[in-house]
Structure formats: structure tokens, C-alpha cells
Chains A and B, each alone.
Chain A
Amino acid sequence: EAGVAQSPRYKIIEKRQSVAFWCNPISGHATLYWYQQILGQGPKLLIQFQNNGVVDDSQLPKDRFSAERLKGVDSTLKIQPAKLEDSAVYLCASSSQGTSGNEQFFGPGTRLTVL
């Protein structure tokens, strides 16, 4: 079974620029999550999708961050404009209702550096 795919793996931009991250979840997983992990901290949920609908985006800074999952499969997370404090690893995860314990499967993440 293929895992969660993310691209790019690394991205360096200057502040005020825009950036987009892509995630392809495990086939058949209805739930998709985007987490932000700042260096030295645990991951923090930004947004959760169930199919193509948003379940929880309470921690998403909506003035600069946006995410979509138009066909209920792949998802894109965008930051516009980026700030220095957005430097972090952005993790995508997916889960299936049928998985024991609602186990979440994580991708390798995209490491963003904002200069």
C-alpha cells in the first residue's frame, strides 16, 4: 500500500512570497489533515477535511493560509503572503473510518524556510 505523498520536500522562499504544498493521501482515505510542526514542537492541526468538506479549520490563520480538496482526494495548502514565523514542516495525514483507532498515516512533510 502506497503511503501519503507530499511535494515538494523542501522549499525556501522570501517573506511576502507565496507558496503551495501538495498532498496525495492513501487511496480510499476520506479524512485528510494538514499539520504544522515548528522546530522543537509537536505537530499542530491546521485543517481537517472529510471528503471535500472542511471539518475543522479553527487553527488555520485564514488571513494568509488556505487549503482545498476539490475532488475529495488530493489537497493543496497555500500560504500567501508568507511570514518568517511560517518556517516549519507541513505534514499531511490521512485516515479511514475503518482503521482501528482512527489511526492517522502521515506523509514525510514539506520543510518550508522563509527568509
Chain B
Amino acid sequence: DAKTTQPTSMDCAEGRAANLPCNHSTISGNEYVYWYRQIHSQGPQYIIHGLKNNETNEMASLIITEDRKSSTLILPHATLRDTAVYYCIVRREDQGGKLIFGQGTELSVKP
């Protein structure tokens, strides 16, 4: 599985967009980009995933660069409840197996 690189921490003002970057320069053609988040004292929660097209759901948007070497998770209007560790993970969609978590980005949303 390709390795990902994320900033250790980020701050965001409440109500503003939070843009979380992820580098995955060794991603393979059949590997997807997944995002999970983990709120303090809870288990990780799935957010979104994509292959090469941009994706949007009720939680977030995922922007993947054309060369697929990096991506950005966007929380359009961050709230205090979005304070969490965000994990960017790369794996094949047909792999019903393990998620390899890195250190993630600790996002702090401040009032």
C-alpha cells in the first residue's frame, strides 16, 4: 500500500472551510484515497473516498489532483464538533482488509 504524508496539526476558525492536505506520491493506478476521522475517545469514522474524480457527500468534499499524487479533504463550514484527528489512507477498493493508519492530522476548530 502506498504511504501518505499529512501535516501533524492544523487550526481552523469555526464556520470557515477546513482544507486538509495529503501527499501520496507513490499511489498506484488501482488505489483509492480514503479519509477517516477520529474524535477524541471514539473509534474512527469513515468520511469519504475517491479514485481520481472529485467526490462530495454530506460530510465533506475530496479533491484529488490530476496526477493523483496528492489530495485535499475539505470541510466546507467547520464546527467545533469537527475537532478530530483526520487520517488519509490509500488502498485498493476491492481490498476488504486492513486500513493502514498513519499519524494523521490533528484538526482544532476554534471559536
Contact = CB atoms under 8 A, between A and B. Distances in A.
Contacts of B34: 101
Contact count band on B: 20 to 34
B103 A93 contact: no
A43 interface: yes
A24 interface: no
Contacts of A103: 46
A88 to B, nearest CB: 13
Interface residues of A, number: 25
B49 interface: yes
Interface stretch (A14-22, A66-74, A78-86, A104-112): A104-112
Contact of B103 (A31, A33, A41): A41
A50 B46 CA distance: 20
A103 B89 CA distance: 12
B101 A43 contact: yes
Contact of B43 (A44, A50, A97, A107): A107
Interface in A25-54: 31, 33, 41-45, 48, 50
A79 B78 CA distance: 40
B9 interface: no
Contact of B99 (A4, A45, A55, A97): A45
**7 nearest interchain CB pairs?**
A42-B101, A106-B43, A45-B98, A103-B46, A101-B49, A102-B96, A106-B44
Interface of B: 32, 34, 41-46, 49, 85, 87, 93-104
Given A95-B96, A97-B96, A101-B49, 10 more contacts: A43-B99, A45-B98, A45-B99, A48-B98, A93-B43, A101-B32, A101-B46, A101-B93, A104-B44, A105-B46
23 contacts: A41-B103, A42-B85, A42-B101, A42-B102, A43-B44, A43-B101, A45-B97, A45-B98, A45-B100, A56-B97, A91-B43, A91-B44, A93-B43, A95-B96, A101-B49, A102-B93, A102-B95, A102-B96, A103-B46, A106-B42, A108-B41, A109-B42, A109-B43
